[in-house]
Amino acid sequence: MGILDKLRFEKLKQGLSKTRDGLFGSVTRLVTSKNTIDDEVIEQLEETLIAADVGVEATMEIIEAIRKRIKEERYADVQELQHLLRDEIQRQFVQTSNEFTDPFNITGQKPHVIMVVGVNGVGKTTTIGKLAHHFAQRGMKVTLGAADTFRAAANEQLEVWAKRADVHLIRHAKDGDPAAVAFDAVQSATARGDDVVIIDTAGRLHTRVNLMEELKKIRRVIQKQNPDAPHETLLILDATTGQNGITQAREFGAAVGVTGLVITKLDGTAKGGIALSITRTLKIPVRFVGIGEQLDDLQPFSRKEFVDALFEETAT
């Protein structure tokens, strides 16, 4: 039996007219019969997840988990069913301690080295600007390393952000060796006694073997200065990204050991559901979300808010 049997797209189509009322608007009307509620709600949930880029496979698995819980736990009313759905989806996320404490409050070894990676144009440099600002706001001393020596005006762009956040910047000439920049940045930050170093890297598609090798080299060079560094390797993921996000996470993870995700551009209508697939299959936690182009537009990730937003209507 094809997996899409379960997806029941024909029914989904009928359900489309209802989506404007929101997922639970229609549920309220269906409160008369529980079996119908299950089916209708689950079908709409499927649609919601697919439309959010969660992907077919992850969607089917999540639905399975929810069906099981419905069977085991039952629910009294629609309110409880709503709660159950959201709770189950939240559970799919890798838990991070970060969610309950201040993720900007870095303790331990100094300097704390963060390396930032991702495909082209996802928001790496902008996210670094925002991170720097948040750390600086907490009185920490920050150095940025402009290890994107490739893209036109990448240096200048990070320089603007360094000024805005009022932090220290290490840059070399364009087309220089990115690993050398990273080395200098860590060295300089160590000498200055800085708290945090953030290394910007050039956007690269994970299919480019030589560029992925370059990234590994940057990492090796950082490790040479401090075997525990980088303490964090953030993969930046554009919320509009579809199923390719999985491959991105897998490949960058294999190359440089991604320790956290940042979902950017969540201020648009894309839901970033691919992050849900990634976090459950690759066990990488989401650390931050980007919600705009200003210094302040970065927030610690919250599973609850993410899941709530997943169910929010997008008027089109």
Partner 1 sequence: MFEELSRKLDGVLKRLRGEGKLSQGNISETLREVRRVLLDADVNYKVAKRFIDDVQQRAIGKEVLQSITPGQLIVKIIRDELVTLLGTSNSELKFSSSPPTVILIAGLQGSGKTTFSAKLANELKKQGRHPLLVAADVYRPAAIDQLTTLGSQIDIPVYSVRESDAVSIASHSVDHARKNARDVVIIDTAGRLHVDEEMMREVEAIKYRTKPSEILFVVDAMTGQDAVNTAKAFHDRLNFDGAVLTKMDGDARGGAAISLRATVGKPIKFLSTGEKLDALEKFHPDRLASRILGMGDIVSLVEKANEQFDQEKAAKLESKIRKSQFTIEDFYEQLQEMKKMGPLSQLVGMIPGMNKLPQGAAVDDGAMVKIEAIIQSMTREERQKPQVLNGSRRKRIAMGSGTSVQEVNRMLKQFDQMQKMMKTMSKGFGGGGMRRMARGIPGF
Ligand X SMILES: Nc1nc2c(ncn2[C@@H]2O[C@H](COP(=O)(O)OP(=O)(O)OP(=O)(O)O)[C@@H](O)[C@H]2O)c(=O)[nH]1
- Per CB under 8 A, residues contacting partner 1 are 2-5, 9, 12-13, 16, 47, 50-53, 55-56, 119-123, 129, 150-154, 156-157, 159-161, 205-210, 238, 240-245, 247, 265, 267-271, 273-274, 293, 314, 316
Residue 26 or residue 126: which is nearer to ligand X going by CB? 126
Residue 42 or residue 202: which is nearer to ligand X going by CB? 202
Residues 130/163/137/229 CA torsion (nearest 10 deg): 70
Q: Of these partners, partner 1, Mg ion, ligand X, none, which one is at the site of residue 178 (CB under 5 to 8 Å by kind)?
A: none
Q: Does 127 bind Mg ion (CB under 5 A)?
A: no
| Pairwise CA distance, residues 302 & 306, whole Å | 6
Contact criterion met (CB below 8 Å) for 75 and 296? no
CB of 210 to Mg ion, least distance (A): 19
Residue 70 or residue 128: which is nearer to Mg ion going by CB? 128
Q: Of these partners, Mg ion, partner 1, ligand X, none, which one is at the site of residue 300 (CB under 5 to 8 Å by kind)?
A: none
Residue from 44, 96, 125, 248 binding Mg ion (CB under 5 A): 125
Q: Give phi and psi for 156, each to the nearest 5.
A: -60, -40
Residue 125 or residue 264: which is nearer to Mg ion going by CB? 125
Q: Which among 30-38, 121-129, 207-215, 222-230 is the span making contact with Mg ion, rule CB under 5 A?
A: 121-129
| Pairwise CA distance, residues 158 & 97, whole Å | 30
| Pairwise CA distance, residues 44 & 134, whole Å | 39
| Pairwise CA distance, residues 157 & 177, whole Å | 18
* Beta pairing partners, 199: 115, 145
CB of 112 to ligand X, least distance (A): 21
Q: Closest Cα to residue 96, out of 258, 285, 288?
A: 285
CB of 160 to partner 1, least distance (A): 4
Q: Does 264 bind Mg ion (CB under 5 A)?
A: no
Q: Closest Cα to residue 235, out of 288, 187, 190, 160?
A: 288
Residue 4 or residue 153: which is nearer to Mg ion going by CB? 153
Both tokens of 136, joined, read 């600086």
Q: Does 204 bind Mg ion (CB under 5 A)?
A: no
Rg (CA), the chain: 22
CB of 193 to Mg ion, least distance (A): 27
CB of 147 to partner 1, least distance (A): 16
Both tokens of 186, joined, read 């860590």
Residue 98 or residue 247: which is nearer to partner 1 going by CB? 247
Q: Which amino acid is at 37?
A: I
81 membership: H or E segment, kind and range: helix 78-91
Query: Which residue has the closest beta carbon to ligand X?
Result: 203
Residue 26 or residue 155: which is nearer to ligand X going by CB? 155
Residue 16 or residue 31: which is nearer to partner 1 going by CB? 16
Residues interacting with ligand X, by CB under 6 A?
118, 120-126, 148, 151, 154, 202-203, 205, 236, 264-265, 267, 290-293, 297
Q: Give phi and psi for 96, each to the nearest 5.
A: -125, 145
Contact criterion met (CB below 8 Å) for 106 and 195? yes
| Pairwise CA distance, residues 204 & 279, whole Å | 21
Residues in contact with Mg ion by CB under 5 A are 124-125
